[in-house]
A and B are shown apart, each in its own frame.
Chain A
């Protein structure tokens, strides 16, 4: 009843309501300049999550950098020539001078540690100490490069056309600035060489830019599209703008609140404006009804009050269902998903408050003549849309068995598709194929060892154990075993250094390309290596007490599944080759895997919670379990069909898709709520008028179904079309998660609207005996 007073109040004091709304909006807008974004995928999980704590520990034990930029240099004629080598030297020198670069650990021809023996002299020094001046010098550099397996696929491709400069960043460095400077440095060089800048900081930066684009460009475009579509529907600019304002106000309140609380905007929350804009379309039911009512009553105030009476219940419950669909996300472990859920749930509730205050208030300002004109076309009999909807519903009503049977066949097909779904998450594929990030990643993966990095950390419980021949040979064996996987491009470990020194100390006699036989020899080799190498060379692969070793595994793909294969292969090797060491995965590739699994688990949990809660909302709303089941069916059916298609087209079941599954429940159920509520309302209105004969009752139901399809059904279609129109805009974005979300929601909204209009009548017709049974016993109040 309280909502009623809010409507009355708003209709009686429209000016104060509008003024207050604008004032609150202005207050929230003052927060906007403080907006920050967070594009670091690591922040998807909380800082105290096991995987992040462990990865931090590994980073600190092995002196690893959190961020690395890689500059790929490709010369189709081969990079081993004086000119290209000169460029590599110059570029490296300049990179070392960039602020924020961890200069001591930049790896490139002039800085990477090389172990060689020349004329009996052991040399541990950077590979290229000066630019070769003659072809002979170029030749000997090439020989050194290809002799050392540590370099191949790391700083030189097998075909000699690609090299890379690895640029680690200090903790407080600005990744974007460094990447821009590197691009600038490379851009100054002329010649045949092509340059590719890759690495997390670059990807994150591109991501951030796209997020702003979505919020600042795509969301307003979506708004404009909706405005135009709405205008075409109602032919009244004032009302279209009112609806638009309703959406804008709720977006500003929600985003303002988010920023005021100090949350950064993540990829998920950057979609909130588009979502809210779409959710705001639910108010279309108010407009839809208002035009019908106005045409009947010809009095604005009465029409407003009556409209609100008629639609308040479904509108409130649909809002509740939507808010719950998003609210469920609050129970997840993925932080940005949580924030997004809370944000949109808040926005949805605010939208509803506005529907009962701001919108009725705005109605009072509208020019009566205009409504008159607009509402003239709102006649069930003459409206083409209504006729079409009526025939759609008629199909379900008159041929319910055939309809349900067709549905069953589709259901089976969808289930087969469902079984084909592949759970996977590939962060690089979040960028479009022709994006700079994807191209750089592809080039480097083709030429070098692989851009996605995972670690396998060997843990013993004895100081110095890693220096034993047993441990060294084991690590080497494990590396060879892992390299058999086609997704593994290169592995490196402390064993590679030991073998290298053994070989070089024995004048490259191939007999010594192996792990030596005693712990002392290994210890002395490592000491010898550490006497002249960069400290990080050893630190990256062994810990200080030689209890732990770090095996680097470079993967050729960012698929989360790849790291799972590595872990399985490791376990398998350990099973067949027992050793007193444990092996634990780490690194960004491992993080992606954990995160991927976490998302899936979260999604399953969220989906189940949403299923239950949405069902309960339906039960409460309809005060009947049976009606809830009828309302639920088209919803479930829609979701099944969409996921069936996902399975058939081979789209990975990734983070955006799984999050959508929860949301879709809360959003798609709206149509069923509107349809059934209005149907029952209409039925009870009519049955009070008419006498109750059983023959009559049947026709009554059919008539009521057709009426519902034609009148509130039009609202449903309008809602779906508007919703789809706004999300269709996202399909033109350049980040694939946005495109996925856009395509998913467009198809879901249209499909669930059609499903509701066909299947709800079919089910009601088929099940009317069962559905109305409690009515005949318990009286018509049950409607």
Chain B
């Protein structure tokens, strides 16, 4: 009898895997995309490209440390190399679930650390087409999620999930994400504006394994309405490097330790 049951379970297993709820898929995706490892470091190159082909570059080191489980508190530390005149500028974000972030910025030219208000989640991150929320994530509970369909995209089996914000606190009326069934990384996201028109598209172009964690190392966000796009490349990336809590302080904001930023 037991054998039969096991056989039955084995038969049902792929089914039960696909029987994940939309919320479960999004949770898994959040963990894979934004909470991987205990901590994370990447050298990030951002290209901001206008419709007419003008380019702006932002180069930074991004450090991230998790406090708690996926969906929980996180701290981010960013150090800018480019543009040249903002070298040594640093930016720190404490991200809390269900609460506004805390943000600090160090302006080296006047040797000043300033807290920055973080009311507007959908404002642009350093002038790019990514919003702060795109970079650090959005609480799963803020949206209702549903699986629209399952389909192959770029050779990957994906869940297609429609997420609609419960409150009208963001620019989009809904988002449709293609989540890879294998590694739960987003392959593509489409943002529809309040008129129901597609206006922003996220695509993950390159995925590499780093210390066993599949990581999106090249991504693009394109604004279809303004024709502006932002390409992000991780020049280097690493996980579980043992970032100390003390890094996330005003002192290090002014004088970040070389070992962490390079």
Contact = CB atoms under 8 A, between A and B. Distances in A.
Interface of A: 60-61, 63, 96-99, 102-104, 118, 120-126, 129, 170, 464, 467, 505, 516, 518-525, 527-528, 530-536, 538-539, 543-545
21 contacts: A60-B52, A99-B197, A104-B225, A120-B114, A121-B116, A121-B117, A122-B115, A122-B117, A123-B116, A505-B110, A518-B109, A522-B85, A524-B107, A525-B107, A530-B127, A531-B105, A531-B124, A532-B116, A535-B127, A544-B48, A545-B54
B89 interface: yes
Which are the 9 A-B pairs with shortest beta-carbon distances? A523-B85, A544-B54, A521-B109, A123-B117, A530-B127, A520-B109, A60-B52, A527-B86, A121-B115
A61 B127 contact: no
B166 interface: no
B17 to A, nearest CB: 40
B56 interface: yes
B143 interface: no
B108 interface: yes
B207 to A, nearest CB: 28
B112 interface: yes
Contacts of B80: 527
A538 B83 contact: no
B54 A61 contact: yes
A518 B223 CA distance: 34
Interface in B56-112: 56, 80, 83-86, 89, 91, 105, 107-110, 112
B6 to A, nearest CB: 56
A125 B117 contact: yes
B45 to A, nearest CB: 16
B23 to A, nearest CB: 29
Given A103-B225, A519-B85, A533-B124, 14 more contacts: A103-B194, A104-B225, A118-B117, A121-B114, A125-B120, A129-B119, A464-B85, A524-B107, A524-B108, A524-B110, A536-B226, A538-B127, A539-B50, A544-B50
A532 B120 contact: yes
Contacts of B55: 544
A97 B86 contact: no
B38 interface: no
B228 interface: yes
B107 A535 contact: no
B36 interface: no
Nearest to B194: A97
B83 A170 contact: no
B83 A521 contact: no
A681 to B, nearest CB: 68
Given A63-B226, A125-B120, A532-B116, A527 B56 contact: no
Nearest to B115: A121
A105 to B, nearest CB: 8
B3 interface: no
Contacts of B110: 505, 516, 521, 524
A63 B50 CA distance: 9
A266 to B, nearest CB: 30
Nearest to B56: A544
A528 B56 CA distance: 15
Given A104-B226, A122-B114, A532-B124, A520 B119 contact: no
B226 A535 contact: yes
Contacts of A121: 114-117
Contacts of A467: 85
Contact of B85 (A60, A96, A524, A535): A524
B195 interface: yes
Contacts of A520: 85, 108-109
A123 B100 CA distance: 13
Nearest to B132: A532
B126 interface: yes
Given A530-B126, A538-B127, A103 B193 contact: yes
Contacts of B119: 123, 125, 129
A495 B84 CA distance: 20
Given A104-B225, A121-B115, A538-B127, A61 B52 contact: yes
Nearest to A527: B86
A534 B89 contact: no
Most chain A CB inside 10 Å of its own CB: which residue of B89, B124, B127, B226: B127
A505 B124 CA distance: 20
A545 to B, nearest CB: 8
A520 B193 CA distance: 37
Nearest to B126: A531
Contacts of A533: 123-124
B208 interface: no
B226 to A, nearest CB: 7
A120 B112 CA distance: 12
B228 A535 contact: yes
Nearest to B197: A99
Nearest to B89: A524
B252 interface: no
A539 B48 CA distance: 12
Interface in B188-242: 193-195, 197, 223, 225-226, 228
Contact of A170 (B91, B124, B225, B228): B225
B194 A96 contact: yes
A63 B83 CA distance: 21
A104 B227 CA distance: 12
A622 B193 CA distance: 74
B117 A527 contact: no
Contacts of B152: none
Contacts of A505: 107, 110, 112, 114
Given A103-B194, A520-B108, A524-B89, A531 B127 contact: yes
B156 interface: no
A467 B85 CA distance: 9
Nearest to B127: A530
Nearest to A99: B195
A536 B195 CA distance: 21
A530 B58 CA distance: 12
A368 to B, nearest CB: 73
A101 B52 CA distance: 21
A124 B115 CA distance: 11
A520 B111 CA distance: 12
A63 B53 CA distance: 12
Contacts of A120: 114-115
A327 to B, nearest CB: 41
Contact of A102 (B83, B120, B125, B225): B225
B161 to A, nearest CB: 25
Contacts of A545: 54
Contact of B86 (A524, A536, A543): A524
Contacts of B120: 125-126, 129, 532
Contacts of A103: 193-195, 225
A504 to B, nearest CB: 10
